[in-house]
């Protein structure tokens, strides 16, 4: 009997990070890092795991969206699906009724991404490889076959994508060895959440420097006078050679962003992240032109590969920030990596959230080994929250991500954590001190 996909298990998992203001920024003052977590099981008894990252209220909407994808997957032949994951991606993304809810953006697109990522997790586990290695071992043609080039071919054709991959092939084994021995550079946001006091920021910056980080990011956007003061404080702490980037989390209008970055510039900024709406390609371009040589970075809330195409082709951003759980999974993120390579823009993934560090490290490592061939001007974001809840948590030493060794995408949560933080039934959410948080959610 053929091995087939069986029913999904979808769980609303929420962590009360708002208690300590972990993750706080100018647009999201009190997030509870959360996940609509899906297990895609097979009749053979194994499973793949994925999730939609959220910040609390609304996770139930993402759960419902994942449930809407379930009928498109249950009953499919597993081996046939894993043999053509490009076609599987199209099956889900192009389904006309669900596509209408985007198209190709928003909660439905993210839910499809969670399922796509879960099936990639399964593929890597069956191959006995971490996801980054499975992807890096694919031939250029196999990688090209994963991509939907509809809406991209005016900027990147399949032939161009293949040529980029073929050009990187000769050094793959050397880079694979380098990655395993030395890891991948990281920067940290853990010291710079907006809700933290100056004293806490100063202490955490000191700890980050001691841990080997040379690049720190601060949240800005609530009060420019506070931002100026805090950036100056951190510059004093990191010294003249440390890198400081800032993240406004979409808080500013275009002219406001230009004015505020000018006030922050004396602290020596490397990039300004999400200075305005993630959908505003023209606005990003105007800001980039006005604030150069400070770079403009965005991507964690960019809805799909088509918006990325516009940002990259128009030179509106100088740093592309993919997110493992915003677009429709591994396939679409590889398309974005290829676009970034075509336009020579470094990719520095977003990972500020539960589980995002775990998954996105695989994409950057694939990019290094099989596509870009460099880590120059590239870092993966690191936040030191909630890794203990994962079966295969990230390992960061000396300011560098160590290459995952276990098979899969590192997305699987510990069953005890799922039981404890399941919303609203989990024991954490039954605690009297969290009654108000639960009611507000």
Does the active-site annotation cover 350?
yes
Q: How far is CA 424 from CA 14, 33, 37, 114, 129, in A?
A: 9, 14, 14, 21, 35
How far is the C-alpha of 134 from the C-alpha of 313, rounded, in Å? Answer: 29
| Helix-helix angle 281-291:305-313, to 10 degrees | 30
How far is the C-alpha of 384 from the C-alpha of 357, rounded, in Å? Answer: 9
Residue ranges of E strands in 321-393: 380-382
Q: How many helices (H) and strands (E) does the chain have?
A: 19, 12
State the DSSP string of 165-212. HHHHGGGHHHHHHHHHHH-EEEEE-TT--TTS-HHHHHHHHHHHHHTT
How far is the C-alpha of 188 from the C-alpha of 351, rounded, in Å? Answer: 10
Does the active-site annotation cover 438?
no
Q: Strand pairing partners for 53?
A: 35
In three-state form (DSSP H/G/I as H, E/B as E, the rest C), the secondary structure along 240-281 is CCCEEEEECCCCCCHHHHHHHHHHHHHHCEEEEECCCCCCCH
Candidate list 109, 125, 215, 350, residue with the active-site label: 350
Question: Looking at residue 325, what DSSP letter applies?
Answer: T
Give the tokens for residue 286.
Answer: 């105007």
The total number of residues shown for the chain amounts to: 441
The values of phi and psi at residue 187, to 5°, are -120, 160
Candidate list 109, 217, 219, 389, residue with the active-site label: 219
Sheet holding 34-42, edge to edge: 5-14, 34-42, 47-54
Q: Which residues are catalytic?
A: 219, 350
């Amino acid at each position: 009997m053929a091995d087939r996909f069986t029913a999904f298990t979808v769980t609303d998992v929420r962590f009360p990070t708002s208690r300590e203001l972990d993750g706080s920024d100018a647009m999201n003052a009190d997030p509870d890092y959360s996940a609509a977590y899906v297990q895609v099981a097979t009749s053979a008894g194994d499973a793949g795991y994925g999730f939609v990252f959220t910040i609390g209220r609304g996770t139930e909407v993402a759960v419902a969206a994942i449930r809407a994808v379930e009928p498109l997957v249950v009953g499919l032949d597993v081996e046939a699906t894993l043999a053509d994951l490009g076609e599987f991606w199209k099956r889900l993304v192009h389904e006309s009724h669900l596509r209408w809810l985007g198209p190709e953006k928003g909660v439905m697109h993210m839910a499809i991404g969670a399922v796509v990522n879960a099936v990639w997790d399964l593929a890597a586990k069956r191959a006995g490889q971490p996801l980054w290695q499975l992807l890096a071992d694919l031939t250029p043609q196999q990688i090209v076959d994963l991509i939907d080039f509809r809406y991209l071919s005016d900027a990147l054709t399949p032939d161009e994508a293949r040529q980029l991959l073929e050009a990187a092939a000769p050094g793959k084994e050397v880079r694979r060895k380098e990655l395993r021995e030395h890891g991948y550079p990281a920067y940290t946001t853990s010291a710079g959440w907006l809700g933290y006091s100056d004293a806490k920021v100063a202490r955490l910056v000191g700890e980050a420097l001691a841990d080997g980080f040379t690049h720190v990011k601060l949240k800005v956007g609530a009060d420019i006078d506070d931002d100026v003061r805090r950036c100056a404080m951190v510059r004093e702490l990191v010294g003249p050679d440390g890198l400081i980037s800032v993240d406004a989390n979409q808080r500013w209008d275009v002219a406001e962003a230009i004015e505020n970055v000018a006030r922050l510039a004396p602290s020596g900024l490397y990039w300004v992240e999400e200075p305005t709406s993630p959908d505003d390609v023209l606005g990003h371009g105007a800001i980039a032109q006005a604030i150069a040589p400070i770079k403009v970075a965005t991507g964690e809330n960019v809805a799909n590969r088509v918006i990325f195409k516009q940002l990259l082709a128009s030179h509106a951003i100088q740093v592309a920030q993919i997110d493992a759980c915003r677009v429709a999974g591994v396939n679409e993120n590889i398309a974005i990596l290829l676009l970034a390579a075509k336009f020579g823009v470094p990719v520095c993934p977003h990972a500020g959230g539960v589980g995002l560090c775990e998954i996105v490290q695989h994409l950057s490592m694939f990019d290094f080994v099989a596509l870009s061939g460099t880590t120059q001007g590239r870092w993966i974001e690191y936040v030191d929250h909630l890794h203990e809840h994962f079966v295969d948590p990230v390992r960061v030493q000396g300011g560098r991500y160590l290459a995952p060794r276990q098979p899969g995408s590192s997305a699987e949560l510990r069953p005890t954590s799922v039981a404890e933080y399941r919303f609203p039934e989990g024991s954490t959410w039954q605690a009297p001190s969290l009654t108000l948080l639960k009611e507000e959610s």
